Copies of this chain bind each other. A is one copy, B any other.
Amino acid sequence: MADTGEAENGVGAAPKGTVTQRAIEQIKAMIAEGRLEPGQRLPTERDLAARLGISRSSMREAIRALTVLGVLEARHGSGIYVTQLEAGDLLETFGVVADLSRGPRLVELLEVRRVLESTATALAAARITADQLAEVEKHLTAMNVTDDPEEILAHDLAFHRVIAGAAGNDTMAAILDGLSSRTFRARVWRGYEEEGAFARTRREHAAIHRALVARDPEAARAAAAAHVGEVEQWLRTQLREQL
């Protein structure tokens, strides 16, 4: 193994970017090409570093980067593994966008959510199972018997999560999950709920549930779009007033 063989390396010597960046691309490529399967264990950090001719520190940075991206998973004392590469794993970082966005971008995010949530709810109306519907009802009633904002928020999230799951598109569900991250909603709702929006929210949720029971996709789409749209419009006016 003349690893980075100094003289004759020819093409491979393309010094593009940092060595860490290169390592990231190489590992990503290995997975994309199927040389690394989901769940499979990678060589040790020390091995990988030696193999690519870089130091362990640099390799660790590459691994850390792929870890936060949800591509790899490091288990202390055991080894490094490729995740299952499922939608949830890879789209976890989507929450960061929601958490760090402010001002106009919050409206944009809600607009995206409105589009996706209404579609997901419509799909769910056609595909939801009895069990899933029962769970939706569970969160709906739980939301109505308490006044603790924290609890309401939790059941609200779960309510939509079950519906998104019933739509049968894990990728869409994962994106919606990110768009509804706890901190994101908490920030927006802090003001929203203080305007007597609780009652309205409950009405809207009931409408969504009704459409699901009736297995009416169009009604479900409309109800979901209206639900998100309410918050969206409220946020728009909020932003306008702040300026």
Which A residues lie at the B interface, using CB under 8 A?
A: 20, 24, 28, 31-32, 57, 60-62, 64-65, 67-69, 71, 85, 87, 90-91, 93-94, 96-97, 99-101, 105, 108-109, 111-112, 115-116, 119, 169-172, 175, 183
Whether A96 and B116, one on each chain, are in contact in the complex, defined by CB atoms closer than 8 angstroms, is no
Task: Supply 6 further A-B pairs (C-beta < 8 A) apart from A24-B68, A85-B101, A112-B171.
Answer: A20-B64, A57-B57, A64-B65, A65-B67, A87-B108, A115-B115
Query: Contact: B115 with A119, CB < 8 Å?
Result: yes
A32 engages B111 (CB within 8 Å): no
**Roughly how many angstroms separate A169 CA and B87 CA in the complex, as a whole number?**
24
Query: Is the beta-carbon distance between A172 and B99 smaller than 8 angstroms?
Result: no
Identical copies of this chain, number: 2
A169 B112 Cβ-Cβ under 8 A: yes
9 contacts between A and B (CB under 8 A): A32-B183, A64-B64, A90-B101, A91-B97, A108-B169, A108-B171, A108-B172, A111-B172, A115-B119
A96 to B89, CA, bound (A): 12
Partner among B31, B57, B96, B169 whose Cβ is within 8 Å of the Cβ of A69:
B96
Given A100-B85, A171-B109, verify A69-B68 contact (CB < 8 Å). yes
